Amino acid sequence: MGTQSFGIDEPVVARIADEVKEVYQLGVEIAVVIGGGNIIRGLAASHRGIERVTGDYMGMLATVINALALQDALEKRGVNTRVQTAIDIREVAEPFIRRRAIRHLQKGRLVIFAAGTGNPFFTTDSAAALRANEIHADVLLKGTNVAGVYDSDPKTNPEAELLPEVTYQQVLERNLKVMDAAAISLCRENDIPIVVFDLLGLGNVRRVVCGEPLGSLVSTELGRGRGVRPD
């Protein structure tokens, strides 16, 4: 939503599409899991009186809107894209089928996963971790609005320290606000490293994919190398 309070800021979508295209052109297989907080957050809706399950489904549908917006921007840039949703909306997107998603990636198509896991009470983080495990991703990149993982909330503590590397166990034990515990545990079980970085920094997606020490690396042990292997 950029600097807006709500909705889709087209220049932001265009900038993200440009960043993703640059990585796509390196020959990297890319799957994108997209959130919907710029339109509605299920948990926030429940705090306003909407029943929690209903609010979560509303949030999932919001991710479909964002997925279609990103798909449109990517295809205008020549990136062959498919949207798969965990909620069946065949008129606008394919249903999520794991083997089909993997086949799309093998054929050089970028896949956008929308509608979270298709179940209430699960976050977009959990959806990203689940899909990463299902397609055997080399790494999970979390693009966010902060520089990485901090030892405390940088928005409330000006002395918060950025942690270039941290283990899954440290994240869980110290309750670091990286991703929810379910997502961290899923990645730990299958040893999928997570890189948390500032999505809106110009060129950051490519820098992370190429292994530059940007943001924070969450993995089994400290001192692990970075970078994605282009296929």
Least confident of 18-27, 87-96, 106-115, 150-159: 150-159
Q: Are 128 and 116 in contact (CB under 8 A)?
A: no
pLDDT, tens digit, 9 for 90 and up, residues 73-112: 999 999 999 999 999 999 999 999 999 999 999 999 999 9
Nearest-10 Cα torsion for 2, 75, 33, 45: 50
Mean pLDDT of the chain: 93
144, 124 in Cβ contact below 8 A?
Answer: no
Query: Alpha helix (H) ranges present in the chain?
Result: 10-24, 42-47, 52-75, 98-106, 124-134, 168-173, 181-189, 204-209
Whether residue 46 is predicted with pLDDT greater than 90 in this model: the reply is no
For residue 45, what are the contacts with CB-CB under 8 A and spacing of at least 6?
Answer: 54, 55, 58, 59
Residue 13 has phi, psi (to 5 degrees) of -60, -45
Radius of gyration, CA atoms only, the chain: 17
Strand partners, 85: 95, 114
pTM of the model: 0.91
Contact between 163 and 148 under an 8 Å Cβ cutoff? The reply is yes
Which of 137, 118, 117 minimizes the C-alpha distance to 187? 137
Q: How far is CA 172 from CA 83, 137, 152, 156, in A?
A: 32, 22, 14, 21
Dihedral sign, CA of 140, 174, 197, 57? positive
Sorted by where each starts, the structural domains of the chain and their CATH numbers stand as 1-137 (3.40.1160.10), 139-224 (3.40.1160.10)
Q: How far is CA 27 from the centre of its chain?
A: 19
pLDDT at 8 over 60: yes
State residue 229's pLDDT score.
55
Give CA–CA dist 9/191, Å, rounded. Answer: 35
Q: What is the pLDDT of residue 177?
A: 83
Q: CA angle, 60 as apex, 58 and 63 as ends, to 5°?
A: 115
Three-state DSSP at 176 gives coil
